[in-house]
Amino acid sequence: MFVNIVMETATILVVNDEPGNLSLLTQLLRPVYLIRAANSGENALRAATGKPWPITTVPGATR
């Protein structure tokens, strides 16, 4: 008997205002996740509009 398992790939919205950090995080996560990237909070809000996103924060990432 064969079982066909379909796993949905999670989408992560990566937000960082430093281009190098944004690029690095995107490259590290892309092999496992679908990535949407934004270089500012304003752009992140635009990217997230209309799509339900679970909220996760990285400790120490706020100013």
Q: What is the pLDDT of residues 8-50, one digit of tens each?
A: 778 889 999 999 999 999 999 999 888 999 999 988 888 888 6
By CB atoms closer than 10 A (0-12, 13-18, 19+), residue 49 is exposed
Which pLDDT score, from 0 to 100, does residue 61 have?
A: 57
Domain residue ranges of the chain, discontinuous segments joined by +: 11-48
How far apart are alpha carbons 33 and 35 in whole angstroms? Answer: 6
38 versus 55: the higher-pLDDT residue is 38
Residue ranges of alpha helices (H) inside 1-63 are: 19-29, 41-48
SS3 10: coil
